[in-house]
Structure 1
Amino acid sequence: MYQARTSSGARDFLAVATPGAGKTTFALRVAADLLAAGEISRITVVAPTEHLKRQWAAAAAEVGIDLDPDFRNSAGATSSDYTGVAVTYAQVAAHPALHRARTAARRTLIVLDEIHHAGDALSWGEAVREAFAPAARRLALTGTPFRSDVNPIPFVTYLPGPDGVLRSVADSSYGYADALRDGVVRPVLFLAYSGEMSWRTSAGAELTARLGEPLTGEQTAAAWRTALDPKGDWMPAVLAAADTRLSQVRGGGMPDAGGLVIATDHAAARAYAGLLARITGASPTLILSDDPTASSKIDTFRRSEARWMVAVRMVSEGVDVPRLAVGVYATSASTPLFFAQAVGRFVRGRGRGETASVFLPSVPSLLGLAGEMEVQRDHALEKSPRDPDAFDDDALREANRRRDAPDQPDTLFTALGSSAHLDRVIFDGGEFGTPAPAGSVEEEDFLGLPGLLEPDQVAVLLRQRQAAQQAAARRDAARATTEQATAVPAARAGTEAAGGMGGAGTAAGGGGAGGKGAAVEEIRPKHEVIGELRRELNRLVGAHFHRTGKPHGMIHAELRRSCGGPPSGQATAAQLQARIDTIRRWGG
């Protein structure tokens, strides 16, 4: 496709491919072919970070192309031993005229890695356009959704869609679904954990809520922060579960499998590293942005068989450690762009049957992103800031900024305590499992899934696990009902006998009847019934999304229009059941 596009005289090519699909390999193959054909004589790779510059240089060396990752603007030139240089977008923005002169001096191929970064600041986009306008060829790469701002990204083609909005057009697209089908990437199991969270507000009020239940935005954020507090019980429980899963994967066919915890800041990363050391008995590799040895630590971890690495959020993009198979998403970043990049660290396949497992808080924004892994979005130039699909680029820049010192303590919020429950498992757009306390046999059913499975085998096993849990729950409920049914007549007989002996039989009998009702209510409390119906509805919505491509929100809206009633979070059991019946009739 690249040859066909460029043979017509086009100088630009945009390749969109899911993280882990081999964008670097593709770009280096193109570079080698162009060098061999004499169409170029120099290469410039532009990457987002210093670490990625070195990663590019190492990958290029393996195919016989020497790139200088230590090129500095102040030097202006490099050794003739090199075919080209690897620089950052910040370097280009600092001296676009220098890079323009270098580009114009010889026929140059420009590789723009993660091209969406050219829009991190308006000046960056202008600098990239100025510096590389004279290039003989430009190859732009990205593995994630584009931006929400309306600044055109340099050298990207935009065409109007049916609604008249200009959207980016890729010359080649290779999404997660394509790569999964071809065995290039691993299927991802998302294990979402909820639990009871307690915190104190700035006004001194102490609140308790269950993570993942319908809450206001402020309450969800507070519950989320409480879960990530290393002094609570949620993080230790989730880290222990993730380590159990890692052991299962390592013992099931991936003996060198590694895990990565993505933390919010340096203080949290250090605390999580301490928790892992206590859980595993070994200190994990700790990656901090202000550590000058961070790149070498990542490389050492990549070549080793060490179990765990803990890093701040900025390590999520582009870090190439193919043996990473288990992740803990311990950050409050929730943009689609950041989430896709973070999950991309775990999906790079090395052989068929490998699976990835990502542990995350059970909050609606993350669950939605996990259920829509296969959605591919283009950059729209007129997207409304209120569009629910819009990406919060300010939040992304905050997520990726260097954190060279711990954040200042927040005196307006205090986490008081937390607990952890496995809420659900998300795979291939569907949801599986029933709530299970951390450390329970039910949780172990999912943590113990084999490490080497084909995608269809994963789905079959998840359905089997869920069916077994539901059957066990029904048996327990039936047993409890039977025991109660036999206990009540005996209790009545006892109270009647007591009444015949002059006791207060009527009062005791009334209490017995009330006790029966209360006991039955304890067997199937309304919140459990509604919770189970919500999970079943979400599972069916996920399956319908996977089959039709409609977003989850649109499917829920259609069900509400068809059946009536409020959003699922406020719907009654009867309303939820009606929606379940309806979507099943749709074939969900």
Structure 2
Amino acid sequence: MSGRSDPVLPAPTLQLPPAYPDRAAWGTAPHLRAWQTAALEHYLAQNAKDFLAVATPGAGKTTFALSVAAELFSRRVVDRVTVVAPTEHLKTQWAGAAARVGIPIDPAYSGRKGRTSQDFVGVAVTYAGVAANPLAHRIRTERFKTLVILDEVHHAGDALSWGEAVREAFEPARRRIALTGTPFRSDINPIPFVTYAPDPEDPGGALRSVADYTYGYAQALADHVVRPVLFMAYSGEMQWRTRAGDEIAARLGEPLTKDLTAQALRTALDPGGAWIPSVLAAADSRLTEVRRHVPDAAGLVIASDQDAA
């Protein structure tokens, strides 16, 4: 391990490239949207150590968090940033988005690695990576004035060890920002650094996260920040043979037993069957019609796994 101290790098500046509907790079926008500006102003006014932002998927949580980071760097409140994401893919996306706004962070860092290159002012890691070596992350957090961004923070409750590791690693942080797309309940594994209160809609009095700033789907839709998502319902006649050799027929959408429903759905979702191609053809026809009025309308196919996709 080198004995050299990490240099103080110049504060990053936001240089954000075109947003929806002009298809910006992930995590970037040419200027802050109204909700991002309001959330940033609220954050700076609150001046709290912990801040939970709930914003509907696609609204721009990444850009908001990076704008906070840039502001804190410029004010010298922090001099390092750690981004924690659920997956390897997302941490790499975070690193790319941060680099585009002048905040270089290392997505290849791990607790075993020790110091990172002097070219970086931060690191991007996964919750699993933090859980593998929370002490190493704590030491790094203590060495600097660190901002920690907890992306999709509800994932910190996926395993008890993850939540405990997040608390151990990032308790010394100068500032922490937690991001999520929806409020969440405490359930069995409460998430560190999140405030909870009884859910008024739950007769059992379950605890639900309390956000410092919320930007919901309805607001985002009204602001044209996200697109409307329509789910079309399709039925169909399914036929399959049981292990005993019996021929069974059922129609999706009609009352069936739990077992029959499961078998009918398995038959329907078999990519080698006849139903999936017919639904895709119907969806393509519908999308072609919609594109006469909305040229960049799109469809999304969600498959059970990569092979099926």
TM-score (norm 1): 0.43
In 2, Cα distance between equivalents of 1:151 and 1:142: 16
Kept in 1: contact 2:54–2:213 (CA 8 A): yes
Instruction: Look up the match of 2:256.
Output: 215
CA-CA distance at 1:189 after TM superposition? 1.8
Kept in 1: contact 2:151–2:179 (CA 8 A): yes
In 2, Cα distance between equivalents of 1:10 and 1:154: 15
Instruction: Look up the match of 2:148.
Output: 110
Of residues 34, 45, 48 in structure 1, which corresponds to 2:86?
48
Instruction: Look up the match of 2:222.
Output: 181
CA-CA distance at 1:129 after TM superposition? 0.8
The share of aligned pairs that are identical, in percent, is 68
1:304-333 deviation per Cα after TM superposition (whole angstroms, max 9, x unaligned): xxxxxxxxxxxxxxxxxxxxxxxxxxxxxx
Of residues 267, 278, 284 in structure 2, which corresponds to 1:237?
278
Of residues 245, 264, 267 in structure 1, which corresponds to 2:307?
267
Of residues 70, 89, 96 in structure 1, which corresponds to 2:134?
96
Instruction: Look up the match of 1:133.
Output: 171
Kept in 1: contact 2:51–2:176 (CA 8 A): yes
Instruction: Look up the match of 2:36.
Output: none
Kept in 1: contact 2:186–2:196 (CA 8 A): no
Gaps of 5+ in 2: 1-38
| Shift in alpha-carbon separation, 1:156–1:66, aligned structure 2, 3 A | same
In 2, Cα distance between equivalents of 1:203 and 1:157: 54
CA-CA distance at 1:148 after TM superposition? 7.5
Which amino acid in structure 2 is aligned with residue 264 of structure 1? S
In 2, Cα distance between equivalents of 1:209 and 1:236: 19
1:430-473 deviation per Cα after TM superposition (whole angstroms, max 9, x unaligned): xxxxxxxxxxxxxxxxxxxxxxxxxxxxxxxxxxxxxxxxxxxx
Mapped pair 1:15 → 2:43:
no
Which amino acid in structure 2 is aligned with residue 206 of structure 1? E
| Shift in alpha-carbon separation, 1:259–1:167, aligned structure 2, 3 A | closer
Gaps of 5+ in 1: 270-588
1:390-434 deviation per Cα after TM superposition (whole angstroms, max 9, x unaligned): xxxxxxxxxxxxxxxxxxxxxxxxxxxxxxxxxxxxxxxxxxxxx
Kept in 1: contact 2:151–2:178 (CA 8 A): yes
In 2, Cα distance between equivalents of 1:88 and 1:250: 39
Instruction: Look up the match of 1:74.
Output: 112
Kept in 2: contact 1:2–1:13 (CA 8 A): no
CA-CA distance at 1:174 after TM superposition? 1.1
Which has a greater percent of helix? 1
In 1, Cα distance between equivalents of 2:161 and 2:217: 32
| Shift in alpha-carbon separation, 1:200–1:146, aligned structure 2, 3 A | farther
Structure-to-structure mapping, 1:545-564, within 5 angstroms: none
Root-mean-square deviation over aligned CA pairs:
2.1
| Shift in alpha-carbon separation, 1:4–1:147, aligned structure 2, 3 A | closer
Instruction: Look up the match of 2:102.
Output: 64
Aligned to 1:92, the other structure's residue is in SS state helix
Kept in 1: contact 2:183–2:209 (CA 8 A): no
Kept in 1: contact 2:186–2:206 (CA 8 A): no
CA-CA distance at 1:8 after TM superposition? 4.9
In 2, Cα distance between equivalents of 1:161 and 1:228: 37
Kept in 2: contact 1:211–1:223 (CA 8 A): yes
Aligned to 2:108, the other structure's residue is in SS state coil
In 1, Cα distance between equivalents of 2:243 and 2:182: 37
In 2, Cα distance between equivalents of 1:265 and 1:52: 19
Instruction: Look up the match of 2:16.
Output: none
TM-score (norm 2): 0.80
1:182-201 deviation per Cα after TM superposition (whole angstroms, max 9, x unaligned): 11111122111110112233
Instruction: Look up the match of 1:554.
Output: none
Which amino acid in structure 2 is aligned with residue 244 of structure 1? S
| Shift in alpha-carbon separation, 1:149–1:221, aligned structure 2, 3 A | farther
Instruction: Look up the match of 1:402.
Output: none
Kept in 1: contact 2:105–2:124 (CA 8 A): yes
Aligned to 2:191, the other structure's residue is in SS state coil
Mapped pair 1:151 → 2:189:
yes
- Alignment: residue pair count: 268
Instruction: Look up the match of 2:9.
Output: none
| Shift in alpha-carbon separation, 1:220–1:145, aligned structure 2, 3 A | farther
CA-CA distance at 1:252 after TM superposition? 4.5
In 1, Cα distance between equivalents of 2:168 and 2:95: 24
CA-CA distance at 1:58 after TM superposition? 1.4
Kept in 2: contact 1:198–1:206 (CA 8 A): yes
| Shift in alpha-carbon separation, 1:8–1:16, aligned structure 2, 3 A | closer
Aligned to 1:262, the other structure's residue is in SS state coil
CA-CA distance at 1:61 after TM superposition? 1.7
Instruction: Look up the match of 1:205.
Output: 246
Which amino acid in structure 2 is aligned with residue 188 of structure 1? V
Kept in 2: contact 1:156–1:168 (CA 8 A): yes
Structure-to-structure mapping, 1:456-467, within 5 angstroms: none
| Shift in alpha-carbon separation, 1:264–1:152, aligned structure 2, 3 A | same
Which amino acid in structure 1 is aligned with residue 254 of structure 2? E
CA-CA distance at 1:204 after TM superposition? 3.5
